[in-house]
């Protein structure tokens, strides 16, 4: 059973298109995240949601819009894709603000914008 699952695993699209990446966790966690890993492998947090509420938005362009329909899902919608958006996007989850624990990561979505 996959704890944090993302779809699709690979996404190739043209500049200017709009695309979505889905993420689901079956761990019962309250908090979910989106991270972007660039070509140099640097991992940077983009968003964090706790119980469907946005708690962290790290100066990400407003072309990126996360949506959390329930605490088990955090989807990422990207409008007007640009070449610089090419990266691997990782979804992650953790139990929440009270407990000390690690983040659990999904398999990643490799987005290539051409």
Partner 1 sequence: AQSVSQHNHHVILSEAASLELGCNYSYGGTVNLFWYVQYPGQHLQLLLKYFSGDPLVKGIKGFEAEFIKSKFSFNLRKPSVQWSDTAEYFCAVNARNFNKFYFGSGTKLNVKP
Task: For residue 83, give the 3-state DSSP assignment.
Answer: helix
Q: Which is nearer to partner 1, 98 or 114 (CB)?
A: 98
Smallest gap from residue 67 Cβ to partner 1 (A) = 18
Task: For residue 84, give the 3-state DSSP assignment.
Answer: helix
Structure token pair of residue 84: 């610089």
CA angle 51, 47, 9 (to 5 degrees): 100
Q: Which is nearer to partner 1, 3 or 15 (CB)?
A: 3
CA-based nearest residue to 73, from 2, 4, 1: 4
CA gap 49, 55 in Å, rounded = 5
Q: Which is nearer to partner 1, 12 or 15 (CB)?
A: 12
Smallest gap from residue 110 Cβ to partner 1 (A) = 9
Smallest gap from residue 14 Cβ to partner 1 (A) = 24
- Residue that is written with structure tokens 């059973």 in the block: 1
Q: Point out which residues bind partner 1 (CB under 8 A).
A: 31, 33, 35, 40-45, 48, 50, 55-56, 90, 92, 94, 96-98, 100, 102-108
Smallest gap from residue 39 Cβ to partner 1 (A) = 12
Q: Which is nearer to partner 1, 2 or 79 (CB)?
A: 2
């Amino acid at each position: 059973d996959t704890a944090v699952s993302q779809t699709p695993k690979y996404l190739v699209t043209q500049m200017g298109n709009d695309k979505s990446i889905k993420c689901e966790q079956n761990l019962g966690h309250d908090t979910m995240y989106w991270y972007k890993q660039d070509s140099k492998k640097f991992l940077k947090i983009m968003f964090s949601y706790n119980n469907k509420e946005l708690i962290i938005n790290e100066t990400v362009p407003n072309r990126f819009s996360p949506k959390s329909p329930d605490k088990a899902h955090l989807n990422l919608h990207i409008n007007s894709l640009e070449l610089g958006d090419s990266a691997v996007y990782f979804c992650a989850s953790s139990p929440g603000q009270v407990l000390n624990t690690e983040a659990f990561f999904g398999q990643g979505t490799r987005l290539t914008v051409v």
